[in-house]
Structure 1
Amino acid sequence: MGLIGLIISWIIIGAIIGLLARAIMPGKQAMGLGMTIVLGVVGAIVGGFIGGLFGGNGIGGIMDNPWSIGTILLSIVGAIIVMAIYGFATKDRA
């Protein structure tokens, strides 16, 4: 897979992870689809770091098999963490 394919797959995975995290997260999140995708991708990376801390494959696991259940769950947890931080950081701007 070339660089363009990798970027497109990360956007798709980020959108899926971001939308799942927004659905699970309580309350209203004041962000558009673009920010959801960005936070989903960042959340997937954070989830990979969390998995690496607990003895998993870390970021390499996300790159090797992004569609495994464990990877998706860790990515969602990471996205929820990132969205919560984003929500706290932008709470007073609304």
Structure 2
Amino acid sequence: MHIIWTILIGLVAGAIAKMILPGKNPGGFIMTVLLGIAGSVAATYLGHFIGWYHAGESAGFIGAVVGAMLLLGIYHLATKNS
């Protein structure tokens, strides 16, 4: 059940990140889900590094959205010249 919940949170977080950040965004539905899931994982590891989360804790919904926005912003910077 945890994997399904992660996918659903990833879908919503990726969709919100795409709505907040303008510009040409990658892929469709699958990419949105992957972006949200990766954003959640990135936010979790960043939170562990900074000390916001302890071992076994994961980033919440807002952290997943911020992580997805961060990854989408990096994508925009990497593909800006192409």
Calculate the TM-score normalised by the size of structure 1. 0.70
Other-structure match for 1:72: 61
Runs of at least 5 residues in structure 1 that lack an aligned partner in the other structure: none
Q: Give 5+ residue unaligned stretches, structure 2.
A: none
Q: Is the 8 A contact 1:50 1:58 kept in 2?
A: no
Q: How many correspondences in the alignment?
A: 81
Q: Which amino acid aligns with 2:76?
A: G
Task: For residue 46 of structure 1, report the CA deviation from its aligned partner.
Answer: 0.4
Task: Tell me the residue number matched to 1:34.
Answer: 30
Confirm or deny: 8 A CA contact 2:9 2:61 kept in the other structure: no
Is the Cα contact below 8 Å between 1:50 and 1:74 reproduced in 2?
A: no
- Tell me: CA distance 1:49–1:18, structure 2 relative to 1, closer, same or farther (3 Å): same
Query: CA distance change for structure 1 residues 84 and 13 in 2, over 3 Å: closer, same or farther?
Result: same
Secondary structure of 1:61's partner?
Answer: coil
What is the aligned counterpart of 1:15 among 11, 32, 36?
11
Which whole-Å CA distance do the structure 2 matches of 1:51 and 1:35 have between them? 24
C-alpha distance in structure 2 between counterparts of 1:11 and 1:23, whole Å: 18
Q: Does 1:47 align with 2:43?
A: yes
Alpha-carbon distance change, 58 to 21 in structure 1, aligned in 2, over 3 angstroms:
farther
State the partner residue of 1:82.
71
Q: Is the contact made by 1:14 and 1:40 (CA closer than 8 Å) also made in structure 2?
A: yes
Please report the RMSD computed on the Cα atoms of aligned residues, expressed in angstroms. Answer: 2.1
In 1: Cα distance, 2:55 partner to 2:42 partner: 9
